[in-house]
Amino acid sequence: MSDSFSSSNGRRSDLPGLMAFGGAMLMVGVALGYFISRATVERVEPTQVAVVSPTHVVEGKTPAPASTVSSSNPLPAEGGPATPDAAATAMLDVIARVRHFKGDPNAPVTIVEFSDFQCPFCGRFAAETEPQINSEYVATGRARFGYVHFAFLGQESIWAGEASECANEQNAFWEYHDYLFTHQNGENQGAFTKENLKTFAAALKLDTEAFNTCLDSGKHVATVQNDTQFGQALGARSTPSFLVNGRALVGAQPFSAFQQIVEAAPGANQ
């Protein structure tokens, strides 16, 4: 996608005001049978949950209008947090669609990431923040972590997503996930060609014959596309984006942003 905005904090599109207003930027209402809680992005005081960039933003898209919010599960005015019941209901609907989780399924906190393997800010999150979440919360049973494809940066994003699904057939999704993020090298510059993706599988000692057949077949194209459409229906407009027990976080967040939500969750400190 084009570089329409550049700064030391990261890249985004030039959509008027997209990164400047509101109080949350994703999810909870109705789309494809799922409640959507929407949120916009803002810089907040240290006492609040930080919702800051950097992100990659989908160009030409805007959050769903208020008219799409379910009247049977009403949300507060834009900028206000969803009620606990609304957030919990929405999160159950999202969880039902997530195929890739690590951690205790009974953990009191669920974190779901919407991500593109080519996104450099997703790579930053994977390198800097996710290991802390893994050690502090996933490994201790306080949270589980889920991944959903939001492959919008080009063909190599789709191929990488497909390859991770082929690795998943050999119970190696997370190993392949980690390998992809440590082997980024620019967007659509050849880092994630099918030949390279096959080489990654060999490096991880997967069954390369089965992996290569899977990737060449294109059997998981629809899986990756359906995930991306699901994220868009929820209101996701950039990568990485997260739901943490129904609350939205957008961008390559520091560990402290997740810590504020996890530490406040009922049962997370037991």
Q: What is the pLDDT of residue 86?
A: 66
Q: State the Rg of the chain over Cα.
A: 18
In sequence order, which ranges of the chain are alpha helices (DSSP H)? 84-97, 120-128, 130-133, 155-168, 173-181, 194-203, 208-217, 221-234, 255-264
Q: Model confidence over 57-115: pLDDT tens digits?
A: 444 333 332 222 222 222 223 334 456 666 677 788 889 999 999 999 999 999 999 99
Write the DSSP symbol of residue 63. P
Write the DSSP symbol of residue 138. I
Q: What is the pLDDT of residue 265?
A: 83
Q: What is the pLDDT of residue 87?
A: 66
How many Å apart are CA 238 and CA 215, to the nearest integer?
A: 26
Q: What is the pLDDT of residue 40?
A: 30
* Residue 73: closest CA among 21, 33, 119, 35: 35
Residues of the chain predicted below pLDDT 50: 1-81
Phi, psi of 114 (to 5 degrees): -105, 115
The fourth-level CATH superfamily of domain 82-238 is Glutaredoxin (3.40.30.10)
Phi, psi of 225 (to 5 degrees): -65, -40
Q: What is the pLDDT of residue 205?
A: 98
Write the DSSP symbol of residue 33. T
Phi, psi of 68 (to 5 degrees): -85, -5
Q: Give domain limits for the chain.
A: 82-238
Burial class (CB in 10 A: 0-12, 13-18, 19+), 252: buried
Q: What is the pLDDT of residue 35?
A: 31
* Residue 73: closest CA among 22, 109, 23, 34: 34
Q: What is the pLDDT of residue 270?
A: 60
Concatenated DSSP letters of 169-225: TTT-HHHHHHHHHTT--STTSSTT-HHHHHHHHHHTT--HHHHHHHHHHTTTHHHHH
Degrees, nearest 5: CA angle 71-262-253 = 90
CB contact at 8 A, 111 and 143:
yes
Phi, psi of 110 (to 5 degrees): -120, 125
